[in-house]
Structure 1
Amino acid sequence: MLAPSPAGFRHLWPLLKPHRRRLLAGGLCMVIYVACWPLLAWLAGQLIPAIGAGNFPVVLRTIAAALGLFLVQKAAQFGQDTLLAGPALRVSQELRRGLFARLQRLEFGALEKLSAGDLTYRLTEDADRVGEVIYKTIQDTTPSALQLVVVLGYMVWLDWPLALATLLLAPVVVLLVSSFGARVMTAAERSQKQVSELAGLLGEAIGGLPLVRAFAAEPWLQQRFDTEIDLHRRARYRTLKLLALQHPVVGFLEAAGILTVLLLGAARIQAGGLNSQGFSSYVAALLMLIDPISHLTTNFNEFQQGQASLRRLRAIEAEPVEAPDRPSAQPLGSVRGELVLEQVRFGYNPAQPVLHDLDLQVRPGQVVALVGPSGAGKSTLFSLLLRFNTAQQGRVLLDGHDLADLRARELRRAVALVPQQSSVFSGTVAEAIAFGRPASEAAIRQAASLANAAGFIEALPQGYASRIEERGSNFSGGQLQRLAIARAVLGNPAVLLLDEATSALDAEAEEAVQRGLEQAMAGRTVLVIAHRLATVQGADRILVLDGGRIVEQGSHNELMAQGGRYRELCERQFIHLQA
C-alpha cells in the first residue's frame, strides 16, 4: 500500500514488483521499438536524395527496408503496450482495493466526517485517473522519453554543432511546460474538489427526494444543484483554458524551432560541414522529436492531474483507523453474556468526555434499557461494547475479559446489533441474513423464524432466493427490520444490542417486529436504547443516562415511585405507573 508520506507516484512502484517478468519483456519490446527510430531516420536520409536524383532502384530498396523496419517496430510496439498494460492495471486495482480495505477500518468518528459522495468519487474517478497515469507513464511516457534521448543522440552523432543549437530551444519549452503543469495541477485540484461536492449533493438529493417533494422544496434544491454545477463548470473551464493555451504556445515553439534548424542546416551545408544526405537524416530525426515532445507535454499535464487525484486518495490514509487486535489477544470461547463497565471514561475529543466514570454490571440473560435525552451517551456506550471505540479510562468486560484483550471479530460475533434504521445490502434474502458469514440454509431459516420473518419470506415468489433491490426499496420498513433481526441472531450471539429498533415503524409493523424481538431476546443479554419508553416498561432494569452518567436505575415501577428524571420523561409521553 501507499506509504504515509507526502511523496507521490514513486511510492506506488513497489506494487509493480510482482510483475517483473512482464515488465522485463515489455521493456525489451520497448528497446526494439525505440531503436528503430534512428534507423528510420538514417533510411530517410538515403531515400530523399535518391528521390531527388531519380535513382529508382535505391528508392525501391530503401522503401522495402523501411517497410520491414516499420513492421518490426509496430510489432514491438504492440508487445510493449499489451505486456505493460497488465501490470499498470494491476497497480490501479491494488491501489483501489487497499484503499477500500482501509476505508473499512477507519475509526467511526473519522468515517462520519467524510461525505459518501466524495468517497465514491475518490475510489472511482480519482483511482481511475491515477491508474491511467501509471499506465501512460509505463506505456507512453517512458518510450517517448527514450525516443527523445536516442534520436537526439543520433542527431548529435550526425552534426553536433547543429544539434547543440537545437538543444538550446529545449529549456525554453521545458520551463514553459513546467509552468503550465503547476497551474494545471492547481486548477485540476479545484475542479476535482467541486466534482466531489457535486457528488455529495447528488447523494443527499437522491436519498432525500421524497422529503424534498413533501416540503415542496424542489426550487431550493434545484438552485443548490445549479450553483454546484456552475461552480464545477467554472473550475473545469479554468483547467481546459490552461490546456487550450498551452497547446498553441508549445506548437508555435516547435514550428519556430524547426524553421530555425532548417536555416542553420542550410548554413552548415553552405559551410561544408554537412552533406545533403546527412541533413535529410537530421531533418527526419528532428521531425521524429515532435511526437514524443507532444506526448510528454500531454502526459505531464495528466501526470499533474493524477498527482491531485493521488493526494485526495492519500488523504484517506491520513485518517485514523480502528485499533488492531493486540498480539496477545485472547480467544473468546463460550460466552455467557455478563457485561461489566468499571470507571469507564470516553470522549471523541478526550478533553470533552461523553461518558464519565461509568460503572455498570449486566448479568447474563438480563434485559437492560437505556433511556435519556439525545447526547446522554447511549449510542456511545454501544460503540464501546462493539469496540468501535476504546475507553480512554477504565475497562469494559465481557465474561470477565477486557474487550481490549479480545479479537474484534470474535467479539462482534458474540455481540450483535440491530440498528434503528435497518441497512440491508442488495442481493438475495438469504444473502442479506447471512451477511457474508458461512451459514447453512437451516440456520438461515431458523434465524428468520426467530425474527418473525419466515412468514413473509416464504410468501415471496422465490422465497429466500428473492432479490432485495438497492436500499431495500422493494421491501417494507417492518420487513427490512425483521431481516435485520434475523441477521443479528444468526450465529446465536450471547449479547443483543437494540438501538430503538421499532421507532421508525407504524403500529402494525411495530407489532410484527416486536414479536420478532421478543423471540430473539429470549435467553440472551439484551441492552435496549429507547426513546419511546412504552417499549421498555418490561425491562429487568432501566438506566437513565444524562450527561454521560447514570442518574437513576431500577424497574419501571421503582423509578416511577422515585418521582425523578425517569418519571418526568414518562409523564411527557403519558405513561403511568403499572398496575
Structure 2
Amino acid sequence: MLAPSQAAGRDSLRDSVRRLWPLMRPHRRRLTAGGVCIVIYVLCWPLLAALAGRLIPAIGAGDLATTLQAVLLALLVFLVQKAAQFGQDTLLAGPALGVSRTLRQQLFARLQRLEFASLDKLSAGDLTYRLTEDADRVGEVIYKTIQDTTPSALQLLAVLGYMLWLDWPLALATLLLAPLVALLVSAFGARVMTAAEQSQRQVSELAGLLAEAIAGLPLVRAYAAEAWLQRRFDAEVEQHRRARYRTLRLLALQHPVVGFLEAGGILTVLLIGAWRIQTGQLDAQGFSSYVAALLMLIDPIAHLTTNFNELQQGQASLQRLRAIEREPVEPPDHPGASDLGAVRGELVLEAIAFGYDPGQPVLNGLDLRVEPGQVVALVGPSGAGKSTLFSLLLRFNVAQRGRVLLDGRDLADLRAAELRRAVALVPQQSQVFSGTVAEAIAFGRPATPEQIQRAARLANADGFIEALPSGYGSRVEERGRNFSGGQLQRLAIARAVLGDPALLLLDEATSALDAEAEDAVQRGLSQAMAGRTVLVIAHRLATVQQAERIVVLAGGRIVEQGSHNQLMAHGGRYRDLCRRQFIQLES
C-alpha cells in the first residue's frame, strides 16, 4: 500500500499531466519529430556498448586493424547520435516554451475575470511570482521531461535489454539494486516537493513585501522607518534562505546516497563478472560489452534522479498556478443577455440588498431614482455603501435582492461589456497605464486622433498635452510618474469620456489634489459632465454643494436626500457632517 505522501504525489502527477496534456496537443508534429530523434539517440547506446566489447579486447591484444575498424564505426555512431540529440533538443524546446506561454496567457486571462473579492486575497507580488517564476519553472520541467527525462528512461530500458541479452543472470543481479534506488529517489522526491512548496511560498511573500516596500518608500522615509522596514526585509530574506537551504540540503544528501549505491552495485557486478569468466560462462568480449553498458546506466540514472526532484518542484509551481484557476470568476453573461443600444441615462435602484459576507449587509433595501442628465452626490460615513453602489452599477458585484435598472432594463439582462461602455468610472486615485498619451486615453479602444483630442478637450487636458515635446505621442512612464496628479486625473477623465458614456461615476476625483490642480480638474469635470447622468461619491462636502441632489447614506440605506440648501435647512445628518467639516452652515 502507498504511503499518504506517495499516493498524493501520484495523484498530483496525474493531475499535472491531465492539466498540461491539452496544451501539448497543438505541438503534435514537433513532438513526433522529436520522438523519432529520441528513438535514434537511444538505439545508438547498445551499438556503442557492442563496439566497446570489440574495442577493449582488441586494444589488449594489440590488434590494430580491429581497433581502427571499431573506432571508425564508433565515430559514425556518435555522429548519428549527436545529430539526433541536437534534433530532439531543438524540436522539443518549442512545445515546452509554447506550453509555458499558453499557460501564462490562460492564467492572466482568468486573472482579469476573477471576482474582486478573490483578487483582494492575493497580493500583487505573489501573483507576479506565480505568473513569471512559477510559469517558467513549469515550462522548464516540461522541457526537461520530454528532452532529457524521456531519453534517459528509454536509454535505461534499451541498455538493460542489451545487458539481459548478453548475460541474463548477471543482468538480474544488477537489477536487484534498482528497487532500492527507486525507493530512495521517491522518498527524497516527496520531501523535496514539500520543501520546494515552502520555499516558493517564502519567495512569494518576499516578492509581496518588495512590491509593498518599493511603492511605499516615500512614506517610509517620511516616517524615518527605514530601520523597521530593513528588519522586516531581513527577516523575510532569512526565512527564504532557510526554506531554500532545506531544499538544497535534501538534494545534497540524495546525490551521495544514491551515488554510493551505484558505486557499490558496479563493484558487485565486476566481482560477479570475474567469477562467470573464470567458470567459462562469459567471454572477455561479452564482459567488456556488459561493463560498457553498465557504465552507460550511470548517466541516465543521475539525470532521472535530478529531473525527478525538479519535476516535484515543477508540480509545486503548477499547483500554485492552479490555485488561481480555482478562484471564482465574474459570472458570465446569461444566454439571453442583450446589447444596450442608445442610452438616455435613467437609473433606478429597487430595494437593493447586498453584502460581501453573509449576514452583514452593506446595502439594505436601498431605493434610488436618478433622472437622465441629473447630477447626484452620494455622501455618508465610511462603510455606508457608496463604493459598493458603484460596484453594482459596473456589475463588479450583483445584488442579492432587488434590481438595478438602466433606462428600464435590468443590468443583469445586459452584456457586461456593453454596460461598461455606457458607464464610465473616474476613480479617486487615477491609474494610467504606460505607453503614449494617446494610448493612455484610448485604453485599448479603437479611436481616431480626432476623437482622442476631443476627449482631451472635454477633460481640460489638451493644453498640457499639446505643450509636451511629442504631444499625444509623448510617453507616460510606469505609474505615470512623469505627470502631476492633476494631469493624471485629467487623462483619466479624458479616458472616461472617450466612449461618450451615458452614466459617469466620479469617486471624489479631486480629493487628492492641491487647489490649483483641483481647479483645472474641476473645469474638466464640468465639461465632461454636461449632458450625462452623473453620480459623485463625495468625501469632502464642499465639492458637492452645487449637485442637483445630495443623497445621504447610512447603514446601507438612504436617510436623507435633497439639495444642499434643503438638507442644511432640515438640520439632519447632512448638516451635522457639514458642521464637522467646518462648512458654512448658513444657507
- TM bucket by the smaller chain? over 0.9
Structure 2 residue identity aligned to 1:36: C
Cα distance between partner residues in 2 of 1:350 and 1:490: 38
**Equivalences for residues 174-193 of structure 1 within 5 A:** 174-193=182-201
> 2:368 aligns to what SS in structure 1?
strand
> 2:553 aligns to what SS in structure 1?
strand
Structure 2 residue identity aligned to 1:256: G
Structure 1 residue identity aligned to 2:50: W
Residue number in structure 1 paired with 2:5: none
Residue number in structure 2 paired with 1:458: 466
Matched, 1:440 2:468: no
**Equivalences for residues 282-431 of structure 1 within 5 A:** 282-431=290-439
Residue number in structure 2 paired with 1:92: 100
Cα distance between partner residues in 2 of 1:125 and 1:9: 20
Matched, 1:571 2:583: no
Residue number in structure 1 paired with 2:4: none
Q: Please report the RMSD computed on the Cα atoms of aligned residues, expressed in angstroms.
A: 1.3
Cα distance between partner residues in 2 of 1:397 and 1:275: 92
Residue number in structure 2 paired with 1:65: 73
Matched, 1:266 2:274: yes
TM-aligned CA distance change 1:398 to 1:537, over 3 Å: same
TM-aligned CA distance change 1:318 to 1:253, over 3 Å: same
> 2:112 aligns to what SS in structure 1?
helix
Identity rate of aligned residues, in percent? 81
Q: Which moved more, 1:79-88 or 1:520-529?
A: 79-88
Residue number in structure 1 paired with 2:122: 114
C-alpha displacement of 1:336:
0.6
Asked whether the 8 Å contact 2:578–2:585 carries over to 1, the reply is: no
C-alpha displacement of 1:5:
11
Structure 2 residue identity aligned to 1:265: G
Matched, 1:544 2:556: no
Residue number in structure 2 paired with 1:503: 511
Asked whether the 8 Å contact 2:579–2:585 carries over to 1, the reply is: no
TM-score (norm 1): 0.98
> 1:356 aligns to what SS in structure 2?
strand
Cα distance between partner residues in 2 of 1:273 and 1:233: 56
Structure 1 residue identity aligned to 2:248: L
Cα distance between partner residues in 1 of 2:17 and 2:481: 42
Asked whether the 8 Å contact 2:346–2:407 carries over to 1, the reply is: yes
Structure 1 residue identity aligned to 2:539: H
Cα distance between partner residues in 2 of 1:97 and 1:170: 41
Matched, 1:74 2:82: yes
Residue number in structure 1 paired with 2:482: 474
Asked whether the 8 Å contact 1:420–1:503 carries over to 2, the reply is: yes
Asked whether the 8 Å contact 1:106–1:319 carries over to 2, the reply is: yes
Matched, 1:123 2:127: no
Structure 1 residue identity aligned to 2:241: R
The one-character-per-residue Cα deviations of 1:354-374 (angstroms, maximum 9, x if unpaired) are 110111111100001000011
Flag structure 2 segments of 5+ consecutive residues without an equivalent: 1-11
C-alpha displacement of 1:578:
6.0
Following TM superposition, where does structure 1 have runs of at least 4 consecutive aligned residues deviating by more than 4 angstroms?
Answer: none
Structure 2 residue identity aligned to 1:332: L
The one-character-per-residue Cα deviations of 1:192-247 (angstroms, maximum 9, x if unpaired) are 11110010000010000000000111110011011110111111111111111111
Cα distance between partner residues in 2 of 1:191 and 1:168: 36
Cα distance between partner residues in 1 of 2:428 and 2:576: 24
Cα distance between partner residues in 1 of 2:429 and 2:280: 87
Asked whether the 8 Å contact 1:371–1:545 carries over to 2, the reply is: yes
> 1:369 aligns to what SS in structure 2?
strand
Structure 2 residue identity aligned to 1:117: G
> Between Structure 1 and Structure 2, how many residues are aligned?
577
The one-character-per-residue Cα deviations of 1:405-437 (angstroms, maximum 9, x if unpaired) are 111111101000000000001111000000000
Asked whether the 8 Å contact 1:45–1:277 carries over to 2, the reply is: yes
**Equivalences for residues 4-83 of structure 1 within 5 A:** 7-83=15-91
Cα distance between partner residues in 2 of 1:112 and 1:6: 31
Structure 1 residue identity aligned to 2:311: F
Asked whether the 8 Å contact 2:38–2:151 carries over to 1, the reply is: yes
The one-character-per-residue Cα deviations of 1:240-277 (angstroms, maximum 9, x if unpaired) are 11111111111111111111110111111122221111
Residue number in structure 2 paired with 1:217: 225
Q: 2:259 aligns with which of 251, 262, 275?
A: 251
Matched, 1:141 2:149: yes
Matched, 1:238 2:246: yes
TM-aligned CA distance change 1:452 to 1:376, over 3 Å: same
C-alpha displacement of 1:576:
3.0
C-alpha displacement of 1:577:
4.6
Cα distance between partner residues in 2 of 1:315 and 1:444: 40
TM-score (norm 2): 0.97
Structure 1 residue identity aligned to 2:501: P
The one-character-per-residue Cα deviations of 1:544-579 (angstroms, maximum 9, x if unpaired) are 111111111111111111111111000111223565
Q: Which moved more, 1:5-14 or 1:334-343?
A: 5-14
Asked whether the 8 Å contact 2:575–2:585 carries over to 1, the reply is: no
Cα distance between partner residues in 1 of 2:543 and 2:358: 34
Q: 1:490 aligns with which of 486, 491, 498?
A: 498
C-alpha displacement of 1:10:
3.3
Structure 2 residue identity aligned to 1:424: V
Cα distance between partner residues in 2 of 1:397 and 1:136: 55
Structure 2 residue identity aligned to 1:163: A
Cα distance between partner residues in 2 of 1:373 and 1:493: 28
C-alpha displacement of 1:6:
8.7
Cα distance between partner residues in 1 of 2:103 and 2:205: 23
Residue number in structure 2 paired with 1:533: 541
Asked whether the 8 Å contact 1:557–1:577 carries over to 2, the reply is: no
Cα distance between partner residues in 1 of 2:518 and 2:190: 59
The one-character-per-residue Cα deviations of 1:490-540 (angstroms, maximum 9, x if unpaired) are 010000000010010011100100110000000000000000001001111
Structure 2 residue identity aligned to 1:363: E
**Equivalences for residues 149-164 of structure 1 within 5 A:** 149-164=157-172
TM-aligned CA distance change 1:493 to 1:6, over 3 Å: farther
Structure 2 residue identity aligned to 1:273: Q
The one-character-per-residue Cα deviations of 1:67-123 (angstroms, maximum 9, x if unpaired) are 001000111111111111101110010000000000000001111111000000000
Residue number in structure 2 paired with 1:519: 527
Structure 2 residue identity aligned to 1:544: V
Structure 2 residue identity aligned to 1:348: Y
